């Protein structure tokens, strides 16, 4: 039997909507092509006001009464919504099963971020609404090679951590196993001598203290880092911004917001480019698809001065968010700095490195002669002085050196801070106070500041360039300033430059002191919805909800559809369309298609580029729209900013506005039966098979029968209750029927009113004993897919809109 357009259908699940029960098994309710709101509900005024996120499930299926095969079935969004505030995605996940409902689908979406490496076992007992813990809980001990070691975990603001309750055995009603994901908002808040870690949102449940025992286990509350490894693939659609017939496709976007987001503005004033009193040199290179980068540098200053952090600082952008050295590994060699990023950087954005240059700075030991034409660098001095024959480690602060002295007054120990010396940084002369001697120190020295260029990275993820304003002092102590326009061009008094991808490059007509440079910038901040609005935790969505809609080695569909009105249709009328059109249809005012397998209303000659009308369209409602679509599939080899590259040139030219959609490949669709095996007993264990039974199901002469229209994805077992009677149980569906070996067994699927499968009586034979079982699996000619619609908050002028989900394949 040949496969026609009518045999490809998209079926609805048991329940649509937003409730926890939405989703479930495939039904016989097919989505009607051209009809609005068949899967998603209409967008309400509240949706537009506060934003919305809708998740649905549907089943592309080959719906025939035989077991024909649809080769390489695939789906994609061929037409995105017209409303710029509305977007759609297909989420591909191996974990998505037929029985999954909204709760499971949301868990799949959150599966990219999971609890990871242990920070501390025996974390404090948390109370509901608590949002902090002491920094001392970042310290832990571990054993290695018979020795105990201590480690301290460093956290950064914006990092996601997990607080878990873990133990073995049966779950305790008082202390259920739970995981709370939260973001660090402060790493050294006041509250105790160690400082506090503050996180958001606060934990909403209590956890046991370290000395509480659950199932003979203590230290059940644990602090963990998180893993970010997405098992999901997102398929979206964008539009061509330039006509193309070659391998390079210019598109509007290569990423999309999975979550609704509200943008706000944050003003940052007085930003310095110096690291304390050290101005680091900045170099950068454009990000590629790699996560490791090499910088050939011979002037990276290194040393043993504990007051100086010699490690180069890296900065890069991933998912539109700026990351630094906490999310990278930096290794310095004699002439190279290697940087390995923990995240994939956004293509063509700068991966920058800021380092202390040996051209400008030198290590200095006061055992040596102070170098000419050099100055001491503030806050880089470390060493000792002697007071009353006792050596003391000093600290440097506000142009002076201080020591801490302990003395006894009776039974009391008194702590006193004493100034030991005054520092003249310009001359390098350090004047000791009375009673202080034997000054020994190391520090950094620098030539008097003088620079005519500057390169640095803006401290902002999404900067509004026209808010950039900077000031800097010249070497003659004259204050000069500059500003930037929205195109990234910087102009000012004796200052020119540019800002591209957050990298600032400036030139000065007069030499300046870069340590005095300060700038203001306003950045757009992405505010994600709290978890309780949509039931999705944004902390468990990768890259703050910004997802890639194309990927290298993925398949895309490039398509364009032309529309024309059919006025006063009559039999014999010929209408011209584009030659080589892949899909042609005529629809009426209700969206109903006039296509039939027997060409009752029109016939198409794609080679000639004509459509012949075969009726006057009686029974349908005018106006009538003729659409012809040209399309082709292509393999993606590279994805760059607003550009997709495919492996071969397109077969024809596609105009501006053509759709470029990522394709979700479903594979071959055909109902079939898996391996049939029998066993002496079955104890509700779906993962194990037992010894072979005495009886055997004869599937050679009487194969188990399925059809594309009715078979489901399920594991089945027939458990004999006597020598002839049995019950039928599905792993996910449960018990569905009872039967016997005397009659054909054809259990009915109540959702389709057709048999799940048919086993002829002749297949059973004889010799079956009570308790023996027959196991097999059936595979449906349908697979579940998960479309998602995101509505951003805002006002829309569009009253009627739609998106089109295309379902295609080849006949075997």
Q: Write out pLDDT tens, residues 549-603.
A: 999 999 999 999 999 999 999 999 999 999 999 899 999 988 888 998 899 999 9
pLDDT band at 414 (very low <50, low <70, confident <90, very high): confident
Cα–Cα distance between 23 and 786 in angstroms, integer? 10
- In the chain, what are the domain boundaries? 5-111+784-811, 113-228, 262-280+449-527, 284-356, 361-446, 672-779
Mean pLDDT for 491-503 is: 93
pLDDT at 627 over 80: yes
Of 154, 809, 264, 263, nearest to 546 (Cα)?
Answer: 263
pLDDT value, residue 775: 93
pLDDT at 478 over 90: yes
Phi, psi for residue 325 in degrees, rounded to 5: -65, -20
pLDDT at 632 over 70: yes
- The single-letter DSSP state of residue 663 is P
pLDDT at 155 over 90: no
Cα–Cα distance between 404 and 748 in angstroms, integer? 86
3-state DSSP of 107-160: HHHCCCEEEEEEEEECCCCCCCCCCEEEHHHHEEEEEECCEEEEEECCCCCCCE
Cα–Cα distance between 75 and 91 in angstroms, integer? 11
Of 258, 3, 100, 16, nearest to 784 (Cα)?
Answer: 100
The more confidently predicted of residues 779 and 193 is 779
Cα–Cα distance between 272 and 350 in angstroms, integer? 19
- The single-letter DSSP state of residue 741 is S
Query: Do 749 and 50 touch, CB atoms closer than 8 A?
Result: no
Cα–Cα distance between 388 and 765 in angstroms, integer? 105
* Pairing between β-strand 8-15 and β-strand 23-30 as defined by DSSP bridges: antiparallel
Query: Do 78 and 34 touch, CB atoms closer than 8 A?
Result: no
Cα–Cα distance between 345 and 323 in angstroms, integer? 9
Range scoring the smallest mean pLDDT among 286-290, 298-302, 503-507 = 286-290
- Alpha carbon 237 to its chain centroid, in Å, reads 17
Q: Element (H or E) spanning 651, and its range?
A: none
Query: Do 377 and 364 touch, CB atoms closer than 8 A?
Result: no
pLDDT band at 142 (very low <50, low <70, confident <90, very high): low
pLDDT value, residue 141: 63
End-to-end CA distance of the chain: 11
Mean pLDDT for 225-233 is: 88
Taking CA atoms, 583 is separated from 187, 562, 578, 611, 625, in Å, by 59, 11, 11, 12, 14
pLDDT band at 1 (very low <50, low <70, confident <90, very high): low
Q: Write out pLDDT tens, residues 645-657.
A: 999 999 999 999 9
Q: What tokens does 662 get?
A: 């990522």
Cα–Cα distance between 524 and 261 in angstroms, integer? 11
Beta partners for 407? 414
> Which residues, in sequence order, are CB contacts of 713 under 8 Å at separation 6+?
97, 98, 778, 779, 780
Mean pLDDT of the chain: 90
pLDDT at 290 over 60: yes
3-state DSSP of 331-366: EECCCEEEEEECCCCCCCCEEEEEECECCCEEEEEC
Q: Write out pLDDT tens, residues 14-73.
A: 999 989 999 999 988 999 887 778 899 888 888 888 888 999 999 999 999 899 999 999
pLDDT value, residue 798: 67
Percent of the chain with pLDDT over 90: 64
> Which residues, in sequence order, are CB contacts of 741 under 8 Å at separation 6+?
724, 726, 761, 764, 765, 766, 768
- Alpha carbon 468 to its chain centroid, in Å, reads 30
Angle made by CA atoms 237, 662, 323, in degrees to the nearest 5 = 80
pLDDT band at 159 (very low <50, low <70, confident <90, very high): confident
- Is pTM beyond 0.85? Reply is no
Q: What tokens does 655 get?
A: 């105009």
Mean pLDDT for 770-793 is: 93
Number of H-type helices and E-type strands within the chain? 3, 63
Mean pLDDT for 700-713 is: 92
Q: Write out pLDDT tens, residues 98-126.
A: 999 999 999 999 998 899 888 888 888 99
Percent of the chain with pLDDT over 70: 98
Query: Do 250 and 642 touch, CB atoms closer than 8 A?
Result: yes
Taking CA atoms, 290 is separated from 8, 317, 349, 552, 640, in Å, by 41, 13, 12, 13, 12
pLDDT value, residue 684: 82
Q: How many CB atoms lie within 10 A of CB 448?
A: 11
pLDDT value, residue 263: 79
The DSSP-derived string for 587-620 is: E-TT--B---TT-SSEEEETTTTEEEE-S--TTS
- Alpha carbon 671 to its chain centroid, in Å, reads 34
Of 219, 217, 199, 201, nearest to 209 (Cα)?
Answer: 219
Q: Write out pLDDT tens, residues 331-355.
A: 998 899 999 998 888 888 899 999 9
Q: What tokens does 231 get?
A: 């098992």
pLDDT value, residue 147: 61
Q: Write out pLDDT tens, residues 457-472.
A: 888 878 999 999 999 9
pLDDT at 799 over 90: no
Cα–Cα distance between 483 and 467 in angstroms, integer? 8
Cα–Cα distance between 739 and 721 in angstroms, integer? 10
Cα–Cα distance between 320 and 223 in angstroms, integer? 28
pLDDT value, residue 239: 95
Cα–Cα distance between 684 and 698 in angstroms, integer? 24
Q: Write out pLDDT tens, residues 195-223.
A: 889 999 999 999 999 889 999 889 999 99
pLDDT band at 145 (very low <50, low <70, confident <90, very high): low
Cα–Cα distance between 479 and 668 in angstroms, integer? 71
The more confidently predicted of residues 321 and 779 is 779
Of 203, 181, 21, 18, nearest to 126 (Cα)?
Answer: 203
Q: Write out pLDDT tens, residues 430-456.
A: 999 999 999 999 999 998 889 999 999
């Amino acid at each position: 039997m040949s496969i026609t357009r009518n045999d490809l259908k998209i079926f609805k699940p048991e329940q649509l909507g937003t409730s926890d029960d939405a989703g479930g098994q495939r039904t016989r309710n097919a989505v009607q092509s051209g009809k609005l709101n068949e899967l998603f509900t209409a967008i309400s005024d509240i949706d537009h006001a506060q934003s919305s996120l809708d998740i649905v499930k549907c089943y592309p299926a080959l719906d025939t009464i035989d077991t024909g095969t649809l080769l390489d079935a695939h789906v994609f969004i061929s037409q995105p919504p017209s409303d710029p505030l509305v977007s759609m995605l297909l989420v591909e996940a191996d974990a998505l099963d037929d029985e999954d409902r909204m709760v499971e689908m949301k868990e799949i979406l959150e599966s990219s971020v999971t609890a990871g490496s242990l920070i501390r076992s025996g974390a404090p007992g948390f109370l509901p609404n608590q949002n902090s813990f002491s920094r001392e809980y970042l310290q832990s001990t571990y054993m290695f090679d018979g020795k105990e070691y201590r480690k301290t975990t460093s956290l950064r603001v914006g990092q996601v951590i997990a607080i878990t309750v873990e133990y073995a055995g049966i779950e305790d009603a008082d202390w259920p196993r739970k995981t709370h994901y939260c973001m660090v908002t402060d790493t050294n808040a006041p509250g105790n001598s160690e400082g506090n870690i503050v996180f958001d949102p606060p934990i909403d449940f209590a956890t046991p203290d370290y000395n509480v025992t659950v199932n003979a286990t203590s230290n059940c509350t644990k602090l963990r880092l998180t893993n970010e490894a997405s098992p999901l693939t997102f398929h979206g659609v964008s539009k061509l911004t330039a006509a193309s017939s070659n391998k390079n496709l210019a598109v509007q976007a290569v990423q999309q917001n999975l979550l609704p987001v509200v943008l706000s503005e944050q003003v940052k004033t007085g930003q310095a480019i110096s690291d304390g009193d050290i101005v680091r040199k900045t170099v950068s290179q454009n990000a590629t698809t790699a996560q490791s980068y090499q910088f050939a540098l011979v002037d990276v200053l290194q040393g043993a001065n504990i007051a100086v952090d010699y490690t180069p600082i890296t900065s890069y952008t991933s998912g539109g968010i700026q990351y630094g050295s906490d999310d990278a590994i930096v290794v310095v060699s004699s002439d190279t700095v290697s940087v390995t990023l923990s995240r994939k950087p956004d293509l063509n954005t700068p991966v920058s490195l800021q380092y202390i240059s040996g051209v400008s700075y030198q290590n200095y030991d006061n055992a040596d002669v102070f170098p000419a034409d050099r100055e001491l660098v503030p806050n880089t001095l470390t060493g000792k002085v002697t007071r009353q024959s006792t050596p003391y480690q000093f600290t440097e602060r506000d142009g002076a050196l201080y020591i801490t002295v302990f003395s006894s007054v009776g039974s009391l120990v008194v702590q006193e801070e004493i100034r030991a010396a005054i520092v003249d940084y310009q001359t390098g002369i350090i004047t000791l106070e009375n009673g202080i001697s034997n000054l020994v120190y190391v520090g950094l020295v620098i030539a008097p500041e003088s620079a005519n260029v500057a390169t640095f990275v803006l401290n902002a993820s999404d900067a509004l360039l026209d808010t950039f304003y900077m000031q800097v002092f010249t070497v003659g102590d004259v204050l000069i300033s500059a500003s930037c326009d929205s195109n990234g061009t910087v102009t000012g008094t004796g200052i020119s430059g540019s800002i591209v991808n957050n990298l600032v490059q400036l030139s000065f007509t007069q030499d300046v002191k870069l340590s005095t440079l300060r700038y203001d910038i306003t950045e757009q901040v992405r505010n994600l919805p709290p978890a309780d609005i949509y039931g999705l935790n944004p902390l468990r969505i990768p890259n703050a909800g910004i997802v890639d809609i194309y990927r290298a080695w993925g398949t895309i569909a490039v398509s364009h559809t032309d529309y024309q009105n059919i006025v006063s249709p009559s039999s014999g009328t010929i209408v011209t369309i584009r030659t080589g059109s892949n899909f042609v249809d005529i629809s009426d005012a209700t969206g109903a298609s006039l296509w039939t397998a027997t060409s009752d209303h029109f016939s198409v000659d794609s080679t000639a580029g004509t459509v012949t009308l075969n009726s006057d369209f009686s029974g349908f409602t005018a106006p009538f729209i003729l659409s012809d679509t040209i399309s082709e599939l292509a393999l993606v080899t590279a994805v760059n900013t607003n550009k997709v590259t495919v492996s071969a040139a397109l077969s024809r030219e596609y105009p501006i506005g053509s759709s470029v959609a990522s394709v979700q490949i479903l594979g071959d669709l055909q109902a079939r039966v898996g391996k049939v095996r029998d066993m002496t007993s079955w104890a509700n264990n779906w993962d194990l098979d037992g010894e072979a039974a005495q009886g055997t199901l004869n599937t050679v002469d009487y194969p188990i029968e399925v059809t594309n229209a009715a078979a489901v994805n399920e594991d089945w077992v027939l458990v004999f209750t006597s020598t002839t009677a049995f019950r039928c149980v599905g792993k996910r569906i449960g018990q569905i029927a009872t039967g016997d070996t005397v009659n054909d067994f054809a259990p009915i699927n109540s959702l389709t009113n057709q048999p799940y499968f048919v086993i002829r009586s002749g297949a059973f034979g004889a010799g079956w004993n009570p308790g023996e079982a027959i196991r097999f699996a059936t595979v449906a000619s349908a697979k579940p897919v998960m479309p998602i619609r995101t509505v951003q908050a805002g006002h829309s002028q569009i009253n009627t809109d739609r998106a089109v989900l295309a379902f295609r394949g080849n006949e075997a």
